[in-house]
Structure 1
């Protein structure tokens, strides 16, 4: 009798943007209750040590969508195009008859120049899919910049106008702004208005809208297998929530910032540069945290409520029994921890993310509700999806590892003992210019084990944290003479990792193995006497 699990039909891949790992009750938040996400964790496996490969939206998502590290796929920051030469999730599943679509945000920047150079028609077919990162854009919405920008062809904006919210940019003017008692628009880009309710009714805000669109997509599929990336744009800023979620939490519900005065008194030079940015200066003020974080929590509560509706929809139709469900985030949010705002560096508040996976098959019954502590990465998701659908694993492309053994309680075997994340501060003048670094000399790379976190900076001293003795990452040992050997070992791990990147994605490993014997069989003689 075969022990191979039956293939699943579908994958529901849910991502919340800028959701911290510790802002869910199943991950230990003391005041924010997320019962539907908690229930999902009880039905599946909750990963306690999941990490993203880039601490900004674009780089993180491109790693998740390609299954490759940032240095391999090359889309190193937001708005850096994803090369048309990269394969993504859709490219791996679509040839097998699986529809792959997105509802929500992807942050994919199209490689227009690459497509033009190759003569690719980007308005339809494979060319259009390449510009969308391999996802069919069933309902794509990345938000709209800047405020007041005239928007045409955005379905959510069209939806808002059809429901009585006029203007060139109703995404900003209604869904992501409040108003004063005279009806004046209070832009959501200004965090001082974060305690005001959005100008739209709750059912017309982004999170419920995207949930309904996801249900519509699923309803349409019938018996056709699908992969749906449901990618919520919240709780990412603008920090604006519709009533009643804008007022569900108060400053009393805000947990204290994780920061020490020593961090501020003598910061690492790169960290000092980030402390000088507007988000960090703002979130270092108690009144900002007390105004913004309750709204951030309200947006998460709304997300949880909408997921409850979605999960009930799947259960009522029996779709949950043939669908792998994954819930995660693309990165966290400092919210004032370490005297920082936004993201971009490598503290666990940013690079560690929630990850919950539900496999409905009997093989996963023994581990339901279990917390797994192995170090996992976002690039592990595509191999996991392919395993669940029983599709080939193109190992020449993928740099992650399938989580299926962990989901089925088979033990991880020789699992990885380190995770990696990459970024560049070249895009931040307050960081780069004081250091006098060239644009191509601003790379920074993290290697993290269960105990140590080491961050390498080109041309600048490294950082080192002992996570066992200092779990809050307050004490930088990057220049401590007593830890020179540890730094050397961690730098060695980083070099080992760099040497192991996938360098031959255009040829399979089987073809490489067969190459020499094919030459012999063909009668090719090189160097014969």
Structure 2
């Protein structure tokens, strides 16, 4: 039977490292269900995000455009009204596009007000939500400080917890992301010393199973309505911090199962100023301590194990409902997590632990049978998924808007002679304390990465020298060669590539190259005739309207005067 793609299940984990899967070589963490998807599809081993920060990275996934193009360069920087997204492209070809989970989208409210777009309208609701129709949005960022909540919107998850009897103003924190001390005091997940405690919640009510259940609810709804093709963006908040997980996952891994830390004392000797600023922040200092890593990483592994078990639950549902044969499954992440490598925590910079992500694509079509279970080492960018989804659903990729390239030829084993030879990632850290510490203006606090598989180059605005890593001889990126004159030719090559990328045509989004080419040398019958001396240069029918007797002679005398 010929199998084809009808639906797309686009799964994104938050802050999942590319190398924290057993199919990617982790020595002690077992992820059999994600591994199963890899065995049914293709695992891309060199997939890079367009920015190593949640909001900017996600906006590139959802628009198929570089940060340089869409402009939403950091968390809570609005995505400007007018940017086309997955929902816009897929609805054009009859595919419903839905969200279950997180986007970290910040609406361009000023732009909507200027254009008179109401958020209560269908168009306004979609513009406000990255182009998605929302089945459930929950960014899972319900942190509360002295001046209120980080995210002031409604929390569906908190409402769910309250309905289950978890009585608190913010059960997301008090139950799902905290444990309990022996004396009954709250053991907040914000304090990493508590990462080895079980979260004070029934496992089935914790965030990851909850969101899995909502995705199944969505698919049940689509089936009951006998809907047409859909894309469901199932976007989990975990294994993102707070690093705390319920029983039994909190005790599945110990400090003896942690991968060896990747860092060198030499990295702290005369480091690049931007790198030094990040090593010197509170997060870098915390994760440089072994006791922090020994508390956090087993919990991080437990969170991933729980995520994998929920993928097993999803796969069972897809099989039971008959959707496995017509649903493309994608597993990825918005960025990684340093976990103490390179003396850093969180993400932000461009070491592999931060900027490289897992990417697994299972195409159910018969034409992809030849690549099942393979690993593709082509240089892939997160913006490629938008192009892939459009082509997978039978559309033509609008490459004057979407800057990524479809992965469909790679999924179906086709040879692509002109595939990209380098990838780009960007980071605008202008809103960070590091920019303030370096006394940089917002326009100066920007980084650009160019990587080609052999070399990784980082340009820093603000008058700083570049950074350079030899990925062949130093795959762990422990020695920065950016100030070594011996590598001047490599640095020149990387600057040439960065300049070539910066010169790309990225802002002409209202008319395609194809339309422009088709208009060349078109008919002159619209009446605009240029370059003629006496009219004999053109065919008579084009000039006929400009010949014949004059309508009259103007004498220059006003007949009514006098």
With the shorter chain as reference, the TM-score category is over 0.9
Measured after TM superposition, the shift of residue 527 of structure 1 is: 5.5
1:250 paired with 2:254, answer: yes
Pair 1:74 & 2:71 matched: yes
Q: Which runs of 5+ in 1 are unaligned?
A: none
Shift of 1:295: 0.2
Match of 2:473 in 1: 469
1:140 aligns with 2:137: yes
Aligned to 1:344: 348
Do 1:12 and 1:227's aligned partners in 2 also have CA atoms closer than 8 Å?
A: yes
The size of the alignment, in residue pairs, is 524
**Of the candidates 128, 137, 141, which is equivalent to residue 131 of structure 1?**
128
Does the Cα contact within 8 Å between 1:7 and 1:389 map onto a contact in 2?
no
Superposed CA offset, 1:254-279 (max 9, x none): 11110000001221110000011111
Alpha-carbon distance between aligned partners in 1 of 2:240 and 2:368, rounded to the nearest angstrom: 33
Query: Structure 2 residue aligned with 1:33, among 30, 33, 44?
Result: 30
Report what 2:376 is aligned to.
Answer: 372
Could you tell me how far 1:7 is from its partner in structure 2? Answer: 4.8
1:39-54 matches, within 5 Å, as 39-54=36-51
Report what 2:174 is aligned to.
173
1:56 matched to 2:60? The reply is: no
Residue correspondence of structure 1 range 113-512 to structure 2 within 5 A: 113-147=110-144, 149=148, 153-222=154-223, 223-224=226-227, 225-429=229-433, 431-458=434-461, 459-512=463-516
Whether contact under 8 Å (1:7, 1:390) holds in the other structure is: no
Once residues 137 and 371 of structure 2 are traced to their aligned partners in structure 1, the CA distance between those partners, rounded to angstroms, is 35
- Which has the larger share of helix? 1
1:74-103 CA distances to partner (integer Å, 9 max, x unpaired)? 010110000111000001112333221111
> 1:426 Cα shift?
1.3
* Deviation of the 1:392 alpha carbon: 2.5
Which SS does the other structure have where 1:521 is aligned? Answer: coil
2:73 aligned counterpart, secondary structure: coil
Q: Does 2:108 match 1:105?
A: no
Instruction: Give 3-state SS (helix, strand or coil) of 1:468's partner.
Output: coil
Instruction: Kindly state the Cα deviation for residue 144 of structure 1 after the two structures are TM-superposed.
Output: 3.1
Looking at structure 2, the residues matched to 386 and 178 of structure 1 have their Cα atoms a distance apart, in angstroms, of: 44
> What whole-Å deviation, never above 9, does each CA across 1:121-165 have from its counterpart, x for those lacking one?
112301011000011121111123432647773211111001011
**CA–CA separation in structure 1 for the residues paired with 2:509 and 2:169:** 44
Could you tell me how far apart the structure 2 residues matched to 1:498 and 1:439 are? 19
SS of the residue aligned with 2:369? helix
Shift of 1:22: 0.4
Q: Give, in angstroms, the shift of residue 509 of structure 1.
A: 2.2
Secondary structure of 2:324 counterpart: helix
Rounded Cα–Cα distance in structure 2 between residues aligned with 1:360 and 1:399: 25
Are 1:15 and 1:327, in contact at CA under 8 Å, matched by a contact in 2?
A: yes
Say whether the 8 Å CA contact 2:4–2:366 is kept in structure 1: no
**Partner residue, 2:524:** 520
State the Cα distance separating 1:519 from its structure 2 match: 6.9
**Aligned with 2:87 (options 90, 115, 119):** 90
Q: Report deviation, 1:53.
A: 0.4
CA distance, structure 1, for counterparts of residue 119 and residue 263 of structure 2: 47
SS in structure 1 opposite 2:11? strand
Report if aligned partners of 1:7, 1:388 keep a CA contact under 8 Å in 2.
no
Cα deviation digits, residues 370-411 of structure 1 (max 9, x gap): 011110111000111111110221111011111011101112
| Residues 1:523 and 1:265: Cα distance change in structure 2 (over 3 Å) | same
Q: RMSD over aligned Cα, in angstroms?
A: 1.5
Change in 2 beyond 3 A, CA 1:37/1:281: same
TM-score w.r.t. the length of structure 1 is: 0.96
Shift of 1:41: 0.5
Q: Aligned equivalents of 2:425 and 2:530: distance in 1?
A: 43
Structure 2 residue 9 is matched with structure 1 residue 12: yes
TM-score (normalised: structure 2):
0.91
Name the SS for the 1:59 alignment partner: helix
1:440: how far off? 1.1
Secondary structure of the corresponding residue to residue 319 of structure 1: coil
CA 1:514–1:456 in 2, change beyond 3 Å: closer, same or farther? same
Which protein has the larger Cα radius of gyration, Structure 1 or Structure 2?
2
